[in-house]
Amino acid sequence: METFQNSAVACIFTKLTVLSFLLALNTSGIGHARLPGTNFINVTDEAEVDFTHFSGALGKRYMPETMGSGCAFFDFDHDGYLDILFANGREWRDDNQSNYTPKLYRNLGNGKFVDVTEKAGLAIPMYGMGVTIADFDNDDDQDIYFTNVGSNLLFRNNGNTTFTDVTDTSNTGGHDWSTSALFFDYDRDGQLDLFVCNYVKWTVESDLSCTVDDQHPSYCTPAVYQGQSCRLYRNLGKGDIFQETTEKAGVYNPNGKSLGVAMLDYDDDGWIDLAVANDTEANFLYHNNGDGTFTDQALLMGVAYDENGKPQGCMGIDVADVNNDNSNVIAIGNFSNEMNSFFLASAGDYFSDQTIQTRIGNPSLFTLTFGLFFLDFDLDGYQDLFCANGHIEPNVSRYQRNIRYPQRPSLFWNQQNGKFDEIGLKVGLRKAGVGRGAAYGDYDRDGDLDLLVSNSGVISRNGRAWLLRNEANHEHSYLRIKTKGVDSNRDGIGTKVIVSAAGIQQRQMVRTGSSYCSQSEIILTFGLGAAEVVDWLEVIWPSGTIDKYTNIAVNTLLTINEGESKQQ
């Protein structure tokens, strides 16, 4: 997240000189014969999700105020319906007395939600940034990790719709400004480990005053603060106990200023790697060496900087196989006056910046993207890209006429030819917000993916969250897959699934993390277009076990238990 201090303002005009060139490359029209039969409907009021983000802003321009917060879709009570969780801020004081806490909404299964935060034991004040969720203790219940400004919090799911704070016994609290996080099994021992992004060294006492024009206060750029290293915690498999292995594993680096993290296996060696989005610093690409250590290969592999060799203001991040050719794409949301990044893997697994070539460049030039992820919103078998947008400075339009504080979301529709078209306005994404966290999930169990967006509450009227229901008017089929590990971790995090239907092979991984400070559902959704049957699917577990199935019915949720195909 860059801010537009005087140095940034000075470079705007240089960046804008490329605009006419970008327009020429990005106006070739919709590649599909017609628009998708899909519309997103804002059902927030109808669903009784009344969350409004609280930033604690009192005009002092404390930097964390404009950075929060994240959200999540997950099934906390094991009833088969996705529930909703929001991280939240609080007042700037050192006590536990606050009316502002995270919010947990239980899905009633009838299109409505109810606030169960207090009943669940989560009504605890914290200056929240993000969430990641997984079954870290392999007891078949979803546990929650909150990242905060200050100590993070780990809550174990008790299996009875309540949670217990196990932060102290788990050794995962820390005292940094943490942002995004994810659970993954980096050593393949069947226990989920924890990676936590940290941003900059900031406290109320160390806060600096910044200005755009020597008259009006503004939020400071991260350049004026020291960075903080990300943290890695190894799950010891002994109840709630983790051990920090940051330095031992080779991921200690205080220069990152990290805001987003996504898991992938870019060299397909069976060991989970990590892509980390850094703000105004080089990105990280941590290659898992398979011996408990990682090596940062971002510079070598081509994802450290943009195509001009410069760091960008990077926030959200995600990874997908968008061309159905077994090649990874790393997408990153960037600051305004920078295009979002689209790094495509080619021969030898090296990445190249294809932002302009894919037509993502021009539509993302003036937006500021935080939450970002791939999903197949129209179930045509190709991954599309959603971006939650919103600036960090409420008065930005005073200095930059082309930039707005509230911004509408972007939806880039995959044209199945290596290019994307931004069609947000055409599918109902018309309302502007100050987007931060974003997640997807099928909360109404109709087979397509709905959207959840958390908006910043620096100005309270902008802080209302959005629940956007996917209203499909097409006949595309789908297959949803839930994994349950036996030798691998219970959630099957890190499992690769290959689905073949109608001559197309799609690949997805069961993952936590991605986006910005948020968590999407971990059930995989494969759009199948007009296919009437799945010819075959292959499930590759972190343990190395492989399950294979043929002739699978479409339009269903398939639960796969590790190793079960060999018993049939």
pLDDT digits (tens, 9 = 90+) for 279-314: 999 999 999 999 999 999 999 999 999 989 999 999
pLDDT over threshold 90, residue 349: no
- Residues of the chain above pLDDT 70, percent: 93
pLDDT over threshold 70, residue 4: no
Tens digit of pLDDT for each residue in 74-101?
999 999 999 999 999 999 987 778 889 9
Ranges for all domains in the chain classified under CATH 2.130.10.10 = 39-479
Tens digit of pLDDT for each residue in 239-269?
999 999 999 999 999 999 999 999 999 999 9
Tens digit of pLDDT for each residue in 427-470?
999 999 999 999 999 999 999 999 999 999 999 889 999 999 99
CA distance 131 to 464: 18
pLDDT of 173 reads: 97
pLDDT of 488 reads: 99
- CA dihedral (61, 62, 63, 66) positive or negative: negative
pLDDT of 534 reads: 99
Q: Which residues pair with 534 in a beta bridge?
A: 552
pLDDT over threshold 60, residue 29: no
For 375-407, b where at least 16 C-beta lie within 10 A, e where not — what string? bbbbbbbbbbbbbbbbbbbbebeebbeebbbbb
Sheet holding 83-86, edge to edge: 71-74, 83-86, 103-107, 113-115
Q: How confident is the model at residue 32 (pLDDT cuts 50, 70, 90)?
A: low
pLDDT of 215 reads: 80
Minimum mean pLDDT range among 57-66, 144-153, 535-544: 57-66
Task: Name residues whose C-beta falls within 8 Å of residue 147's C-beta, 6 or more positions apart in sequence.
Answer: 70, 87, 128, 129, 130, 131, 132, 178, 179, 180, 181, 196, 197, 517
Please report where in the chains the tokens 């000189």 appear, as a residue. 17
- How confident is the model over 402-421, as a mean pLDDT? 97
Backbone φ, ψ for residue 427 (5° rounding): -120, 25
Task: Name residues whose C-beta falls within 8 Å of residue 293's C-beta, 6 or more positions apart in sequence.
Answer: 248, 249, 250
pLDDT of 359 reads: 98
Nearest to 223 by CA among 299, 315, 311: 311
Nearest to 40 by CA among 482, 547, 444, 537: 444
- Which bin fits 111, alpha (ψ -120 to 50), beta or left (φ > 0)? left
Q: How confident is the model at residue 214 (pLDDT cuts 50, 70, 90)?
A: confident
- Which bin fits 61, alpha (ψ -120 to 50), beta or left (φ > 0)? left
pLDDT of 137 reads: 98
CA distance 219 to 558: 48
- What would the DSSP string read from start to end of 160-178? SS-EEE-HHHHT---SSBE
Q: How confident is the model at residue 16 (pLDDT cuts 50, 70, 90)?
A: very low
Q: What is the DSSP letter of 65?
A: G
Burial class (CB in 10 A: 0-12, 13-18, 19+), 426: middle
Token digits for 205?
């006492």
- How confident is the model over 30-41, as a mean pLDDT? 73
Q: What is the DSSP letter of 358?
A: T
- Top CATH class of 39-479 equals mainly beta
- How confident is the model over 175-192, as a mean pLDDT? 98
pLDDT over threshold 70, residue 14: no
Which amino acid, 427? Answer: V
Nearest to 50 by CA among 113, 5, 107: 113
